[in-house]
Amino acid sequence: MRKMQAIVAVALALTLSFAGAAKAGPVLDRILKKGELVVGTSGDQPPLNATTRDGKIIGLEPDISALMASAMGVKLTLASMPFAQLLPALKEGKIDLILSGMTMTPKRNMEVAFVGPYYVTGKAFLTKLQTIASLQNANGIDKPEYTVTALKGSTSQMYVEKVLPHAKLIPTNTYDEALELVIQDKAHAMVADYHFCAVSAFRYKEKGLTTVSAPFTFEPIGIAMQGGDPLLVNWVENFLSALDGSGDLKTLAERWFQDGSWLSELP
């Protein structure tokens, strides 16, 4: 990990050296002047990001964010907010980056810049019904008698609206709200990224939750930032390349996806 930080520190030095001749972009300039990197996250998408009983945000994305801030030589601030508020906050300059399980869709990419992916996932069902969990695709519940919930403003909501137009959709502001609807039998299934469904099925197996055996879609997860700052985009690209090439990204992913000891810290 120290080797990777040294490599990225060199990349930052080269970026800032170039910035002396070509003025740093507005976001990178703001980060360096404030001495602070503000990263937006929902804080409720384990194991990518999660909030502990003590209010600390942990997960793969906070770890990546911390390494980025360290390599920049600034402090890290994690700004937690509902997922649907992340993109507006980024556009308004309230946060510098988004690391929050955000899929790099063409539509989003026309509004903001993306670097990645640092993780690839796909859509899945979280349900109490074995008949749903055994489905190979979503067509089996595209009926008015089924109620499905999904995170508002997410690709999960888009997926339900496109693939399950006949099912009743209940959008929620947080993953926890959607999860509770399934637990309380107010929704037959939740559509979410596979990693969240798998972790939730394990955490709440005593409540009868289960998930599908494999995801339905391909979802590349990336870092979102404002357009108009090519130096910042270039720096983040080099950072992720170094993190991946050093093997540290794989090590971090294994920690959060294979070692479940952190689950005891959650509410």
Q: What is the pLDDT of residue 24?
A: 66
Q: CB of 64 within 8 A of CB of 117?
A: no
Domain boundary among 171, 194, 211: 211
66 with 50, same domain: the answer is yes
Instruction: Take residue 57 and report the two structure tokens written for it.
Output: 């945000």
**Residue 6 pLDDT more than 90?**
no
Q: How many CA atoms lie within 13 A of 160 on its CB side?
A: 26
Q: CB of 48 within 8 A of CB of 57?
A: no
Instruction: Take residue 122 and report the two structure tokens written for it.
Output: 């796909």
109 with 174, same domain: the answer is no
How far is residue 42 from each of residues 59, 139, 154, 202, 244, measured CA to CA in Å?
Answer: 12, 29, 12, 21, 24
Note the pLDDT tens digit of each residue in 161-212. 999 999 999 999 999 999 999 999 999 999 999 999 999 999 999 999 999 8
- Domain enclosing residue 261, as ranges: 2-120+220-265
200 with 101, same domain: the answer is no
Alpha-carbon gap, residue 156 to 153, rounded angstroms: 8
**CATH of residue 21:** 3.40.190.10
Q: What is the pLDDT of residue 20?
A: 45
pTM score? 0.87
- Percent pLDDT > 70 in the chain is 90
Note the pLDDT tens digit of each residue in 236-246. 999 999 999 99
Alpha-carbon gap, residue 45 to 28, rounded angstroms: 27
**Residue 57 pLDDT more than 90?**
yes
Note the pLDDT tens digit of each residue in 121-173. 999 999 998 888 787 677 789 999 999 999 999 999 999 999 999 999 999 99
Alpha-carbon gap, residue 157 to 169, rounded angstroms: 8
Measured N-to-C along each axis, helices 248-258 and 60-72 cross at an angle, to the nearest 10 degrees, of 150
Residue 79 DSSP class = E
205 with 240, same domain: the answer is no
Instruction: Take residue 128 and report the two structure tokens written for it.
Output: 């109490």
133 with 225, same domain: the answer is no
54 with 28, same domain: the answer is yes
Alpha-carbon gap, residue 27 to 90, rounded angstroms: 10
CA dihedral angle for residue 48, residue 90, residue 236, residue 158, rounded to 10 degrees = 50
Measured N-to-C along each axis, helices 60-72 and 230-245 cross at an angle, to the nearest 10 degrees, of 120
Structural domains in the chain (count)? 2
Domain boundary among 174, 192, 211: 211
225 with 113, same domain: the answer is yes
204 with 230, same domain: the answer is no
Average pLDDT over residues 108-120: 97
Domain boundary among 170, 187, 211: 211
201 with 224, same domain: the answer is no
36 with 49, same domain: the answer is yes
188 with 139, same domain: the answer is yes
Note the pLDDT tens digit of each residue in 92-112. 999 999 999 999 999 999 999
**Residue 117 pLDDT more than 90?**
yes
8 with 97, same domain: the answer is yes
